[in-house]
Each structure stands twice: as C-alpha cells, then as structure tokens.
Amino acid sequence: MEKLALAGKTAIVTGAAGTLGLAAVRALLEDGAQVALVDADALRLDNLVRFLRGSTVAVACDVGDPAAVRDAHQKVEKALGAVDVLVNNAALGSLDKVEAAADPEWRRVLATNLDGAFHWARAVIPSMRKRGWGRIVNVTSLGAWSGSPAAGIAYATSRGALQALTAALAGEVAASGITVNAVAPACVKTPELSEELNEAQRRQLLARIPLGRFCEPEEFAHSVRFLASPLAGFITGHVLAVDGGLGLA
C-alpha cells in the first residue's frame, strides 16, 4: 500500500468553510493528515465535518482577533496535537476602489487577509521549530500584482502584503526546517466568481486566460498539497501562480 505523504501530520486550514478552503482540506485528508477546519462560520463548519472522511475537528475563529487565534490554536493542539502544516486561506473580498474605501472596510479586510496569517504563523512556529519541521502555505491572489475586476484597493494591498510576509517568514524560519510559501490562484470556480462578476465580465476574463478556462478548486488544492508535502522540502519563499497563464497577458 502506498504510504500517504502526510500520514501522522496535523494540519490547520483557515477559511475552511469556503470553496478553496474545503478543497484544500480534502486534499490534505487524502494525503493522510488530520485536519483542523478553522472558519468564522461555526454552523457551516459543523455541517461540513460530518461529511468528511478522515480525522477532523471544527474550530470557529475570527482570524483577525489575536486572542481568538490563541484560543483556537490551543483547542486544535488539545484535539489533534502539535501543528505541522498551516494553510492560511481565510480571506475577505472587497470591490471598493481607493476613493470609496471607508476606514472600517480597509481595516476589516487587512485584519482577515493579512493579520490573520501573521497571528496563526506566530502561534504554530514555536512548536514547528522544536520538531525541526513545518509547512506554512499562504493563499494570496494574482490580484496582488495586477488587480482584477473583483479586486478593490484593500484586497489587492492585503494580497501583496501577504506575499511580503511569506518572504519575511521564509527567511526567518528556514534554518529550523520550516518552509513558507504562497499560492496565488486566479479565476477559480467559486460562488464569488459568479456573484461578483457579470456575464460580460466573465467572458472578458475568460478571453484573457491562455488556457481558455477557469481553474477547478481541486487544481488549486493540489498546489497546496504539493507545497505542504515532503516533496517540496527544498522550496521556500516562493509564490506559485495557479492562473492558467493569466499572468502572462
């Protein structure tokens, strides 16, 4: 029987109740990890874990609140043990351009999309250092470089800052056997793609993608799965674009 790449490992996926987060959860479970699903939507989390195969726990948490993250981390360790893999996927979208961006919206998006990744990384790194092994995968976006019809100023800024955080963390923890990378997906088939863009915008976007189609959630999840695996042990500080060649346009 083929050995599962993450057998015996514990993973956390934030934003686990969304399309991308759930796809990442399933991919990690398939590789043998036990997975903590973290999301602010407690009811949806509880419903999801009932239908997942593998060892899971649901933990409700506002990732932008450092106290809530500390509490959620303790719950995960009590239920599943020390964390080996962290996938910082929690995110809020925002369409507001600079002149329309109100202070509360700016702070709300940055708190979730950037601060949350920092809070969780700070929580799990000490135990990863002790064991000399860890994987942190931050989920950013092509919007960090180019913006998009669905990327307002706060969203694009948060994604660019998350890439900077990825590089800074990678340099700090590499000597401890911890890798820190990011995945930058674009045009993934999610409800948001349908809700935030009208049909004309979707056709216009599709025409710009060299591969001529949108990304399946499972394709995004496979990139997370790879960067979390032992096979990616010599890759750190990297941002992997999963965009169908859109970044070439």
**Residue 107, number of CB atoms within 10 A of its CB:** 13
Q: What are phi and psi of 111, to 5 degrees?
A: -60, -40
Query: Could you say which of 120, 145, 155, 220 is catalytic?
Result: 155
Q: What are phi and psi of 183, to 5 degrees?
A: -115, 130
In angstroms, rounded to a whole number, what is the distance separating the alpha carbons of residues 149 and 23?
24
Q: For residue 223, how many C-alpha atoms fall within 13 Å in the half-sphere facing its CB?
A: 25
Retrieve residue 44's tokens.
């949806």
Q: What DSSP string describes 18-44?
A: SHHHHHHHHHHHHTT-EEEEEES-HHH
Q: Based on the residue annotation, tell me whether 155 is a catalytic residue of this protein.
A: yes
Tokens 């979730």 correspond to 112
Kindly list the catalytic residues: 155
